Structure 1
Amino acid sequence: MTSSKNDTQLKRSFMKDEAYNELRKWIITGKLQPGTKLRDQDLSDTLGISRTPIREALLRLENDGLVVTKANRWTLVSPINLEEAENIYSIVWTLEALAMEQAFPYFTLKDIDELERYNENLNKIMKTGNQIAKLQADNEFHNKILQLSHNLELPKLLSSLKLRIQRIEIHYFNEIDRMNTSYEEHKKIIDLLRKKNMYLAIEAIKSNWKNSLESIQQFTDDSI
């Protein structure tokens, strides 16, 4: 009996995680557009699983800020707006500046070379036009700095914020050629690390995020 009960719990947990991962991907990539109404029965039919793991996945997505719910009425994919982007980016560049400050004493030549490889990989992927792959390559670069900070709280704080940023950037960067600029900004960060200039490296990591936000602001201004 115990084995059967455990198997049921594992299966339910697996389905909940699978539902969450799939719905999160659909929201971030825009397959589920902002404002789309999410009905658990429809999602259950589409994914071929029961409604319970769907509901649990939607609760997690609400905690991530990717869906909004009105109790017993509706669940929608969260809207994307400029005010939200400004709030999220400002938090991210502040936390990544802290990560750079805390990581700086730990950087070795090997670590800097690894950052360079990540950045060259980003440059290579840019030519494919795969927006999701470009963002993933960009994240590899930034995650290396987080790792070297040895601050285990920073990835936790940044995780859901970066999910929302990925969604914002996929939404806007299909229209904006931003990653070429980001590649050059990463090169500047690498150069400053080699020169052991912590102050300017911190300012450069902040500028990398600020310039992404400014690209979005400029695009929305031009679209009005």
Structure 2
Amino acid sequence: MPLTAEAAVPRSLLRDEVLVRLREAIVGGALAPGETLRDQELASWLGVSRTPVREALLMLAEAGLVVARPGTSTVVSSLDARAVRDARDVVAAMHEVAVRDAVGRLSADHLRAMQEAAAEFAAAIRAGDVPAALAADDRLHRVPVEVSGNRAVAAVLDQYTPVVRRAERLRFSSLAGRDSIDRHDDLLRLCAAGEAEAAAAVAFDTWHSLPTDRT
């Protein structure tokens, strides 16, 4: 019997959209640590049924962004230092792999996109605009990830980067965020020079330098 994809695809896409919206709300602080998440309220807020909300919450629980308590409630997780440290280590390793694989294939357009994102990041940090800094940082690091073509790396980053980003909001709100400007400059210089191993090491250090003792 032929598969009827029409019924399955929209539900999957809807779940993914709900996942993105809820994840952004948690990372951005609109949904605060310890806040109870009721699927009916979230469904009304997003204008969807409860099913994609429940599915998205399960995925957020796997990523450590929410804590599901069977039979009771689901709450936004606190910024646990161990969870942030574990996610940071994994994310740093994935970016190291991506940069090492991508350096030899970065075109002039790729490098230009990274340079523009780095400049926007630096401007946002100096202006104290944390959301803009995070967005620019995402654009910069996304380039080598996409160029590497490693879908396993991309999948792992998609799961664990939001955990790191919650902590990054604290870091980029402080003077410590300015250190990333220099690391970006080093990364761009080494990528442009084709020095894959050195660039990969900087990529790892950029992410692994996130302090976890303040979360």
Q: What is the distance in 1 between the residues matched to 2:155 and 2:16?
A: 18
- What's the counterpart of residue 202 of structure 1? 200
1:160 counterpart = 2:155: no
Aligned 1:8-47 pairs, distance under 5 A? 10=10, 16-47=15-46
How far is the alpha carbon of 1:183 from its aligned partner?
1.5
Aligned 1:43-192 pairs, distance under 5 A? 43-170=42-169, 172-173=170-171, 175-192=173-190
TM-score (normalizing by structure 1): 0.80
Alignment gaps of 5+ in structure 1: 1-5
Superposition CA RMSD, Å: 2.6
Distance 1:50 1:148, change over 3 A: closer
Distance 1:63 1:83, change over 3 A: closer
Counterpart code for 2:197: Y
Q: What is the distance in 1 between the residues matched to 2:136 and 2:125?
A: 9
How far is the alpha carbon of 1:75 from its aligned partner?
0.9
Q: What is the distance in 1 between the residues matched to 2:112 and 2:17?
A: 36
- State how many pairs are aligned: 210
Alignment gaps of 5+ in structure 2: 1-5
Counterpart code for 2:22: L
Structure 2 contact 34–76 (Cα < 8 Å) conserved: yes
Q: What is the distance in 2 between the residues matched to 1:35 and 1:101?
A: 39
Structure whose CA Rg is larger? 1
Q: What is the distance in 2 between the residues matched to 1:175 and 1:19?
A: 28
User: Identity across aligned pairs (percent)?
Assistant: 27
Cα-to-partner distance string for 1:93-143 (whole Å, 9 max, x where unaligned): 111111111112213344333321221121233344331221111011111
Structure 1 contact 134–179 (Cα < 8 Å) conserved: no
Structure 1 contact 100–146 (Cα < 8 Å) conserved: yes
